[in-house]
Each structure stands twice: as C-alpha cells, then as structure tokens.
Amino acid sequence: MKVFVTGGAGYIGTHTLLQLLAAGHELCVFDNFSNASPVALTRVRQLSNRDFAQVEGDIRDAGALHRALADFAPDAVIHFAGLKAVGESNEKPLLYYENNVTGSVNLLAAMDAAGCRRIVFSSSATVYGEAQYLPFDEDHPIAPTNPYGRTKAMVEGVIADWTKATPNASAVLLRYFNPVGAHESGRIGEDPRDIPNNLMPFVAQVAVGRREKLSIFGDDYDTRDGTGERDYIHVVDLAAAHLAALAYSARATGCEAINVGTGQSITVKELVAAYEAACGHAISAYIAPRRSGDVASSYAATAKAEQLLKWRAELNVNDMCASSWLWQSDNPNGYPIDVSARRR
C-alpha cells in the first residue's frame, strides 16, 4: 500500500515508519523538520534497509501538500504532523490553531484532490480533559483544558465531518495516552529540543547526566503513593497500533475514535524506580509543588482498540525504561546535526 506520512520524521513517526517498511508499504514522508532531525530518517533507512520518498514541506503550505499528494497518489495517509507542547500552546494559541487545525484542513483538501479517502490521525487523550470517570472510554465527554487539546478535538471534528461528506471515506482517530520508550536498537528515540516537559524524557536526561534532578510535581494526589499516575504506552506498541488502524480502515468506512493505551496506570515514583533499575543508578529527584493543570490520574479503557483494531499493548514499563535508556545513553545529546541528510 502507498502511505503518505506527515510528520514522519518525528518521535512516533520514525518508529511507525520502521514497521510500515517492514510490512512492505511504499512511503512518502512529508515533514518540515520544525521538531525533528533529518538524521532520524537516515537512521530509519539504515535500520530498515529500505528507501522511501521524502519531501521537506509544511502542512500550512496548501500548494506544497497538493503537489506532494498528487505526485505520490497514496492509498492512505497517516497524519502525525503537529505541534504538541501544552505550555507553548497557551502562549502561542494562534500558532497551534494554524499549524494543527489549518494544516489538517489543507491535508484533507489535498487528499480530496488526489482521490485519497483514508486517514489515521494522531489525536490525544488530552481531548478528554478532567476525568469524570476512569478509565477514560471513547464515550467520555470531550472537554480539553488547553489550546493544544482543543486543536486535537477540533481536528477530530473536522475529520468526522469530512468522513460523513466523502463517500467511502475511512478515518481512525487514535487517542494516544503517554507514549514513551524507544526502538530496541537504541538508534531512534525521543529527542526534545528544549527542556523536556514530559516525565520520561526528563528522567532520561537526569539519568544520563544532562540535568541535575527531577522535580516530582506533587506527592499529595489521591493515588497509590501520592504522585500522579498515567497510562504510559511503549512507542513500539503505539507504532503497531497505526498498522492495525490502517488495516482496519481498509475494511471499514466511517470515522472511529480509538484509545491507544495499556489500561494500566503507573505513578511518577513507580516510573522513576523502573528507570533506576534500567540504568543501574539512582535518579536524583525532589518533591516540588503540583504543576498547574495536572490531573491525578489518567488511563485508558482498551476494549475498543482490542475489538476494532485487534490490537493490544504488549510491552511493559521495564521495556519502556530499558529502551529509553539504551537510546539516551547511546545518544546523550540526541541526534547529531547533519545538514546533508536534509537534501534528498
């Protein structure tokens, strides 16, 4: 199958590319490298021993998208491209609406022009907002609490409307919980450009000595040990969910939102302990005040993914930490800078 992958150079994109290539799909990656290194794509080629088309372009550039889709004529699109930092979205909401919402509208219009009717979209559990009950199932009310989450909820709505108006269209909205970990080779992984906002990359950078200590944001939540609990999902399992969603979209029309998580919650302290076991030394941490906007607990109901996608997570927290540590210790400063990798 020919698959057009926006944002394919990013963290989740690169892990998914490897599995798509292993399954024999023909790919075109469309990325502006605003939050990714071209070296990541070089490594995907090396690891897979396969090649694919690569277009440096911006989803806000409707003309560039139209040309790329018309040239490649894909059977399906996986749409990872987007900005994802909650804090930045509060400071620059218009940038987020333009990038994530306008960019997605451009993409659907270009798909229409190219006659492509299948899309798998990177949504987020953040669309649920404050939990009214747990685990979050897909019928939980949608009430995001920040501009980033609102862009995801809006794009879900846009895609649902597009699906209704487009004969035989098929869309899968994957609501990721907390993606972590790295490929077992340690050659690709998460490479945040600034100070990491998320727990796992921060822990990884403390473990490798790039940062002094972890702030644990609150230990007075109503959880097992007082620290926040989340549903961490190994990025390799998450990548597999995209292949399952592609397969599902070939046999079903319409639009489905589907959680991608393990259904298990892990607290901050539990994750730190698992990382200490993986890296073999203590991780310096202290208890800081709660981070504003944080919820105590978030984890997924997984029945819909199992039923529709025939997919379930297989890797555990030790796999997540071990793979993250391999990536972080082999690449303490992330991907190297190599401008030649941009020119293809």
Residue type, 314: E
Q: Shortest gap between Cβ of 124 and ligand NAD (angstroms)?
A: 3
Tell me, residue by residue from 47 to 76, as one string, x for binding to ligand NAD by CB under 6 A and - for no binding: -----------xxx----------------
**How many chain residues bind ligand UDP (CB under 6 A)?**
15
Q: Compute the distance between CA of residue 274 and CA of residue 272 in angstroms, rounded to an integer.
A: 5
CB atoms under 10 Å from CB of 115, counted, come to: 11
268, interface contact from ligand NAD, ligand UDP, none, CB < 5-8 Å by kind = ligand UDP
52, interface contact from ligand UDP, ligand NAD, none, CB < 5-8 Å by kind = none
Among 117, 152, 187, 230, binds ligand UDP (CB under 6 A): 230
Cα 142 to chain centroid distance, Å, stands at 19
Among 54, 89, 104, 124, binds ligand NAD (CB under 6 A): 124
- The residue number whose beta carbon is nearest to ligand NAD equals 10
Is 148 a catalytic site residue?
Answer: yes
Q: Compute the distance between CA of residue 171 and CA of residue 120 in angstroms, rounded to an integer.
A: 6
Q: Shortest gap between Cβ of 282 and ligand UDP (angstroms)?
A: 16
CA-based nearest residue to 164, from 103, 113, 108: 108
Stretch that binds ligand UDP, among 45-53, 141-149, 164-172, 215-223 (CB under 6 A): 215-223
37 scored as a contact of ligand NAD (CB under 6 A): no
Q: Shortest gap between Cβ of 25 and ligand NAD (angstroms)?
A: 18
146 scored as a contact of ligand UDP (CB under 6 A): no
Stretch that binds ligand UDP, among 60-68, 100-108, 196-204, 258-266 (CB under 6 A): 196-204
Q: Give the β-pairing of 266-267 and 229-230.
A: antiparallel
- The residue number whose beta carbon is nearest to ligand UDP equals 228
Residue number with CB closer to ligand UDP (175 or 230): 230
Give the footprint of ligand UDP on residues 163-182 (CB under 6 A): 178
122 scored as a contact of ligand NAD (CB under 6 A): yes
33 scored as a contact of ligand UDP (CB under 6 A): no
CA-based nearest residue to 65, from 84, 79, 51: 79
Stretch that binds ligand UDP, among 18-26, 52-60, 93-101, 191-199 (CB under 6 A): 191-199
Residue type, 173: L
Among 54, 89, 99, 302, binds ligand NAD (CB under 6 A): 99
- Of 11, 128, 148, 232, which residue is the catalytic one? 148
**Residues in the site for ligand UDP, rule: CB under 6 A?**
178, 197-199, 202, 214-217, 228, 230, 268, 291, 294, 298
Residues forming the active site: 148
**Residues in the site for ligand NAD, rule: CB under 6 A?**
6-7, 9-13, 31-36, 58-60, 80-84, 99, 103, 122, 124, 176, 179
